[in-house]
Amino acid sequence: MIIRLRSLVLAFALTAVVAFSALAASAAGAEEVFWSGARRLPVYSVAREDNAVSITFDCAWGTEHTDAILEALKEANVRATFFTVQFWAEEHPDYLKKIDEAGHEIGTHSATHPKMSTLSEDAIRSELSTSSRAITEVTGKEVTLFRPPFGDYDNAVIDTALSLGLMPIQWDVDSLDWKDLSAKEIADRVLAKVRSGSIILCHNNGLHTAEALPVILDTLRARGFTFVPVGELICRENYTIDHTGRQFPAAAG
């Protein structure tokens, strides 16, 4: 009886340790290490074997370098995805129209660029609805993609976006171009990390982004990669997302 009791106590203690360790790991982890099921996740990358990737640009401040970026994309015949904040779209409707007319995809980056996880569900809904509407008023096209500012989200942000028909999108390759890295540093960072199904994060007004783009695009193309907008990279339905945010098409039944 005593031996059995000790065994039960030991088993209980072991279970408690495992549970505590999992909780601690989750609390200490970065955004992308939460297991799906424990937390809703946006799409960070897509499990593809065809070497398709997407290059994306967040638009929140300024336009000084945007023309050069658009020209670099045009010369390389690459269609990208731009995520625009509402106040940027309203201040620069000419650029929003220019981006759209060049064949690029446009998603929302919120209305006011807040930390979305700090907002109520009603406030999240307002941020997404008004910003999408501002884009549609200029382009005439439905907005179906959303990138959370600062990469910040929680379950309410993901669920609310999906309820509005907006697929939440992150990235798995960060150029860090907003830090005013040199063109070589930006290119080296991107080229070292891209894999099939990657989503590359850049910004429309990075100081050296346009200079880095030809190297990035030409090198990746030479390696066998192709470029598509995010909307053509991701699965819209019948998919799963693992703990890293990588999206997988559902296995055929």
How confident is residue 140, by pLDDT bands cut at 50, 70 and 90? very high
Domain assignment of residue 10, yes or no: no
CA 244, CA 198: separation in Å to the nearest integer? 12
Check residue 23 and give its pLDDT. 31
Domain assignment of residue 15, yes or no: no
Check residue 34 and give its pLDDT. 34
When divided into structural domains, the chain yields a total of 1
* CATH code of the domain containing 68: 3.20.20.370
User: Which residue among 58, 92, 109, 177 is the active-site one?
Assistant: 58
CA 68, CA 88: separation in Å to the nearest integer? 18
Mean pLDDT, residues 158-163: 97
Is 203 an active-site residue? yes
Domain assignment of residue 29, yes or no: no
Domain assignment of residue 130, yes or no: yes
Domain assignment of residue 13, yes or no: no
- Sign of the torsion angle spanned by Cα atoms 213, 215, 218, 224: negative
User: Per-residue pLDDT tens for 15-38?
Assistant: 333 333 333 333 333 333 333 456
The CA-CA-CA angle for residues 76, 79, 82, to 5°, reads 125
Is 109 an active-site residue? no
pTM of the model: 0.84
Check residue 162 and give its pLDDT. 97
Q: Which domain holds residue 226?
A: 45-249
% of the chain surpassing 90 pLDDT: 82
Domain assignment of residue 177, yes or no: yes
Domain assignment of residue 85, yes or no: yes
Domain assignment of residue 179, yes or no: yes
User: Which residue among 177, 203, 208, 218 is the active-site one?
Assistant: 203
**Please, what is the average pLDDT of the chain?**
87
**CB-count burial class (<10 Å; 0-12, 13-18, 19+) for 78:** buried
Instruction: Report residue 159 as tokens.
Output: 């669920």
CA 116, CA 168: separation in Å to the nearest integer? 12
CA 106, CA 140: separation in Å to the nearest integer? 11
